[in-house]
Amino acid sequence: MTAPLRIGLFGFGQTGKLAAREVLIDRECELTWVVRREWEGHAGPIGPMLGLPAGNTAPFTLADAAAPDFFRRNPVDCIIDFSDKSGVEAYEHAADAGVAVVSAVSHYDDEHLARLKAMSDRTAVLWSPNITVGINFIMAMGKIFQAFVPDADVQIVEEHFAGKKGVSGTALRMAAAMGADPAKSVFSVRAGGIVGRHELIFGMPNQTLRFTHESVSRAVFGRGAILAAKWMRGREPGYYTMERMMTDRILAAATQAAR
């Protein structure tokens, strides 16, 4: 029987908490520790904080994760990062310890992204600004469909809660993946408490194809990160994306179905 995947979590905000809960209830994973810089000190069970039984004792830690020996003293198989762009500075030594990295940070500046990519020379690194399974499935399938019908019109509609500012980064990534001009192809809706909804539309003569994904809970990001972490287990050093993972799985499934 394969040993549980040991996961260290960076970030314990709104989404990080839901991600921690998903790791705790996944029987194939073990939440070994959580790093949150602002935490004032907690070493007891975190299950009750997340509405779970008190059986899990995964500790918070304020230890200096940037210390060269942090990952030797606190070994894990994979890091899941739901913190912010500066999180990279705290786990650069993870690569030296062969710890895989799954980053769900939504935005990096050029400097921090370069540091993240540099780690991939020494360990497996996956970054996805939107790490949900559905979004990355749509992007992978969209590219495959576009290869068949390259002249189809592409439009993207993104919907979020009323207070969200700016255009969805996920929608911009979808436009870039489809080779579409975001100024002409992306349309935004802001209303109520919508967690997130994206629709990729292909318009053709006499027919329309729509791929739609809707997030109903931020827990969906935790599930996506866990799937990515499992896929990264034993992976060779390199820079990976969630979209590549989904494409590999789609092609494998298609090959299997064709037999």
> What residues form DSSP beta bridges with 31?
7
What distance in Å separates the CA atoms of residue 46 and residue 21, rounded to the nearest whole number?
A: 9
What distance in Å separates the CA atoms of residue 235 and residue 197, rounded to the nearest whole number?
A: 32
For residue 133, CA distances in Å to 89, 119, 130, 161, 168 come to 27, 24, 9, 21, 17
Fold of the domain spanning 133-215: Dihydrodipicolinate Reductase; domain 2 (3.30.360)
β-strands 196-204, 207-215: how paired? Answer: antiparallel
Q: How confident is the model at residue 58 (pLDDT cuts 50, 70, 90)?
A: low
What distance in Å separates the CA atoms of residue 24 and residue 58, rounded to the nearest whole number?
A: 9
pLDDT of residue 62: 61
* Ranges of each domain in the chain: 5-127+219-253, 133-215
Mean of pLDDT over the chain: 89
β-strands 78-81, 196-204: how paired? Answer: unpaired
- Tokens 């060269």 correspond to 68
Lowest mean pLDDT segment, chosen from 59-63, 68-72, 144-148: 59-63
> What residues form DSSP beta bridges with 212?
199
**Overall CATH class of domain 5-127+219-253:** alpha beta
Sheet containing strand 153-160, edge to edge, reads: 186-190, 153-160, 196-204, 207-215
Sheet containing strand 100-103, edge to edge, reads: 60-61, 29-35, 5-10, 78-81, 100-103, 124-127, 238-240
157-179 pLDDT, tens digit each: 999 999 999 999 899 999 999 99
